[in-house]
Chains A and B, each alone.
Chain A
Amino acid sequence: MSDHNSHDVLRRDPRAEWIARNRLHPLHGTVASSETAEVRGPSGLLRKNPHKVGFIGPNGIKRIDRLKGNAAATGKGRRTGAAQDVQLPLHKVENPDFYIVVVPDMVGGRLTGHDKDVIGQAHKLAAGIEGNGAVLAVCFGQSKEEHFDTAGVDRLLLLDDELYEGYCPEQRLAALVQVEAVYQPKHWLFPDSVNGGSDLGSRLAARIKERPAVQAWQVDNQMSVCRGAGGTTDITRATSRLLMLAEECADQIDETRHEALPLELPVVPVVIAQLQDKGQVAVDPNAISLAEAEFILSAGNGIHNWDQFHEAAAVLGATEGASRVAVDDGFMPRFRQVGATGTWVTARVYLAVGISGAIQHMQGIGQCDKVIAINTDAGCDMVKRAALSVIGDSEEILSELIQQVQEFRTQSSAGGDQDAA
């Protein structure tokens, strides 16, 4: 019976089949792993092995994943959402034909929103000119910025010499004149801001005899629209080589990553400065309006020792703010209230003591850069928002802080005296 069709007969190994059927057999893995869920049968048809589909779940029940690998996107808990860091596509410029130079303000060593708008405008201008152009950012002073690449900087000229520290517009102008000579940029873009962009741009325009377009808010390669006559007229004019751009002139770069390759500038002549920077003058912090204060110490329901709070504000040199509760209870005047019904603050550093963070208050501090929270409740909204949260008794921590700041002050003033001597 077996002799005449020995070639057609499929040889079967009943023992191997038995092991393959028996998931509990110690050799099951070696036999079963050779097979996949979908195989071509002897007649060429696709055969599915229903026993091989899916996997055994943690409680011994078979699970079939029908999402085809998309399951990860749905997110398991709140951790995964934050961990997903999308790598944006890299925009590369090799051997640029021309440069568009941006001189950002770098307030506090970081790119401001205005700076990023200007970089976005630079890319818009570069796209409209033939050839591949690179956006070159010239940054003065110590930089704390870590995301030049996602802000859209192709080439970075970082001048962080001691020469450029402090207020030294003449030295910076000399460096820009050198950049003009070396790179011959197609456009010079400055943010038209009170943080120094408008000053430096005007100086350069006067030096290289370019007529700038100031307060430009709609710019393309041919025409630009600028605010004139103190912001009451719109002037439509040909786009000039040197532009000082208003805020929100263009969209920021957010879909690409850029190289931010460092460049070097050949030696810049040291200018004999006619302006001598004597440093900032102490201003009474409580005379500054809350809306434009740089550093705010804000009190909420968690403050019990108000004398200590006022002392802390004086020692830190911070403007005082308050939450609605503190104002309603009569501990602080109404004009000190931060939040939706009070003042919308723009402080760079906001130190919130005993404020849990009602949504109206969080709206008020939406534009703050760094928030520090001192609170007894680790789960409150303010702690979630804060860059640094300290959980504990506010009175104890404030007294420690006052003491340490006073020590720091005496140390630094003693050090300053030694330097002077």
Chain B
Amino acid sequence: MQPNQLANTLKIVSLVSVGKHPQSGRVRRADQDSRAVELGMKLSSDNLVVLHAGDPQEQGLRSYAGMGLKSIQVLEMDPAADAVMPLGEHLQRSGAEIVLTGVRAESGESSGMVPYQLAETLGWPIVPRVADIVSIEGGVAEVLQALPRGQRRSVKVRLPFIASVDSAAQDARQSAFGPASRAVMEVEVVNASTDAVRQSWEEVPARKRPKRLKVVKAKTAAERFKAATAKSQGDGGKVMKNESAAEQAQAILELLKEEGVLR
């Protein structure tokens, strides 16, 4: 069942970014990125490459290494610059077969566009919001996608591909201090174009969004009164009173089928 034997020869790259704790704002490993590392370690503990584009001195990177990595590859560049071009070139050269990322970064613009732009430049398929990679056989991977409402969808995709890892994937293992400080940073200096558009943006701490007010657009006093006092009620549904139990059950079944909740 475990895809380890087959995947051990695969080259898997997990892209990581520097995370930010949502409450305290402290630097940490990003939640989804660390899940991507965890998934990569599950698939191939030996051939996993963890890749970061930015500053190699960043402390947040050490907490990824603390998950038991021997080394982290870093493409050294200005953290605010556009990472897509250097990452794309590096992945093309390295012959990666599966690239795992988070869905959205926890710092910067956090648009979640990096996997899509990489897929577009490399010409690879992208599978968004992956919960698990079930099996890899004959160059085809079976991937479980996380859907809203706790559902899962199975998707088959041919290697190589890019997958963004959802928060529904397995939790990342604990990060230990010893391995974190022992890990090697393999630094490669690359050229990256500065993000000129972003210079003109104004960034402030998020302010609370105003709640939408319930505006009553009633013309008469009677309507206003009704709006203020009415209980929420459906528009008078169908009531089956005198039918037999079989007919009633039939009606319920029809509605369930129509809504598509029976699987």
Contact = CB atoms under 8 A, between A and B. Distances in A.
Nearest to B113: A202
A237 B107 CA distance: 17
Q: Which 8 A-B pairs have the closest CB atoms?
A: A288-B150, A400-B249, A274-B125, A278-B154, A230-B106, A295-B261, A387-B237, A276-B156
A243 B26 CA distance: 30
Contact of B204 (A234, A238, A274, A277): A234
Contact of B232 (A73, A215, A275, A385): A385
A405 to B, nearest CB: 6
A372 B248 CA distance: 11
A230 B105 contact: yes
A400 B222 contact: no
Contact of A206 (B120, B241, B257, B260): B120
Contact of B252 (A235, A359, A388, A396): A388
A317 interface: yes
A403 B252 CA distance: 13
B128 to A, nearest CB: 5
B1 interface: no
A221 interface: no
A366 B205 contact: no
B209 interface: yes
Contacts, number: 235
Contacts of B234: 371, 384-387
A283 B253 contact: no
Interface of B: 20, 22, 25, 104-113, 116-117, 119-120, 125-129, 142, 144-145, 147-158, 161, 197, 200-207, 209, 212, 217, 220, 222, 226, 231-241, 245-246, 248-253, 255-257, 259-263
Contacts of A174: none
B25 A289 contact: no
B62 to A, nearest CB: 20
Interface of B is mostly: mixed
Interface string A73-85: 1110000011000
Interface stretch (A19-27, A48-56, A128-136, A192-200): A192-200
A279 B116 CA distance: 23
Contacts of A228: 108-110, 203
Contacts of B142: 278
Nearest to B204: A234
A232 B249 contact: no
Interface string A249-291: 0010011000000000000000000111111111100011100
B261 A294 contact: yes
Contact of A194 (B129, B232, B253): B129
